[in-house]
Homo-oligomer: A and B are copies of this chain.
Amino acid sequence: MKIVAIRDEVVPIRSSIRNAFIDFSQMTASIVRIETDVVRGGKPVVGYGFNSNGRYAQSGILRDRIIPRLLKAAPEDLLDDEGTNLDPFKAWDVMMANEKPGGHGERSVAVGTIDMALWDVVAKIEEKPLYQVLADRYNAGRADPDIFVYAAGGYYYPGKDLPTLKAEMQGYLDLGYNTVKIKIGGSSLEDDLKRIEAVLSILGEGQSLAVDANGRFDIREAIRYAEALEPYELFWYEEAGDPLDYLLNAALVQATERPIATGENIFSLIDATNLIRYGGLRPDTDYLQFDPVLSYGLVEYLRILEMLKRHGWSWRRCIPHGGHQLTLHIAAGLGLGGNESYPHVFKPFGGFGDRAQVLNGRIKPLEAPGIGFELKSDLMDCFNTYFT
């Protein structure tokens, strides 16, 4: 078998939302399409990929370096031992040839976007949903039947007041979510506490609220917030400071009994290792949110999981950033702690498929070969529009 063609396009995912660090009015995403000469159901197997929200499209690196290396590789350098399917690990080595160590940003997104499409192909050729491929290969066949998901929203945008915020959160509860998340750090602590209290006022038994500062705070502000947040018993306090400021995280966990979460802006095995070595996080309390797509793909994510195991961390502490079908398959197939979800933002990339339903805060991956993009019509419309 061989790869016949790889295409990439840039899609705007403009939105008027804003977190504590950036606004999304200029945000873009890369989409890719890998066509093979393998036929399933009378048609060539095609894999799709896109990059998770928050980092920009990577057409420059994809077109200058990553895609040409794959297209120039001998077919056997990309195939498994039987020669009947792609091997994402071998493809990873091809993509990363002549790349120096260090500098893990942007490139990690380009590689991760292609990696998504490669795994889509792999599972389609195996004629299994990806979660089952992953469970069979890396988790003794044991896939979780359903997955914890939480609804991430509560962004700042023009004209948003407390009733609007409450209505947004009520909407998530009505969709079946039990855990919701809002942004903090975009105005003042006093204002954020009002936002938190407003949301808590509509939550009932078994429902909870997480908050996300998107890396905004220095160490003093991070700890001031931790102290102020403590009485609310929040689900977690996410990304208080610079994602690479391990010392800040280590200090923060000394300052609060409550769970903290971080990792979505850490993009490689060595950076993740440093977070575990130096960040002081508690394996029985805190959460790790590494995003497989932004950090060199599932191939590197598997290396990160292996590193966590060696450090005594359960994979249940991992709840990836991303909010899309790939992370849902990874969570189900590898037994992670759950998955992010963006019910109303980052369309068409966020979300899990037309028929996917959240029930009591949990969701099942759809039963289709591959990642299941074909069962998410807005996303397939996007792919079909750009790749005609």
Contact = CB atoms under 8 A, between A and B. Distances in A.
Contacts of A278: 246, 274, 277-278
B22 A99 contact: yes
A104 interface: yes
Interface stretch (A56-64, A130-138, A380-388): A56-64
A124 B152 CA distance: 50
Contact of A277 (B22, B247, B266): B247
Interface string A13-49: 0000000011101111000000000000000000000
A268 B267 CA distance: 14
For A58, A100, A107, A214, which residue has the most chain B Cβ atoms within 10 angstroms?
A100
A265 interface: yes
Contacts of A243: 101-102
Contacts of A192: none
Interface in A270-321: 270-271, 273-274, 277-278, 294
A65 B265 CA distance: 19
B98 A267 contact: no
A102 B247 contact: no
A54 B100 CA distance: 7
Nearest to A245: B270
Interface string A228-266: 000000000000001111110000000000000000011
A108 interface: yes
Contacts of A63: 60
Interface string A85-123: 000000000000011111111111100000000000000
A335 interface: no
A308 B242 CA distance: 19
Contacts of A103: 55, 104-106, 108-109, 265, 267, 294
Contacts of A60: 58-61, 63-64
Interface string A326-343: 000000000000000000
A215 B54 CA distance: 30
Nearest to A62: B60
Given A244-B271, A271-B244, A102 B61 contact: no
Given A64-B56, A64-B60, A245-B270, A21 B100 contact: yes
Contact of A105 (B26, B59, B104): B104
Nearest to A277: B247
Given A56-B64, A57-B64, A60-B61, A244 B98 contact: no
Given A106-B61, A106-B106, A270-B242, A22 B98 contact: yes
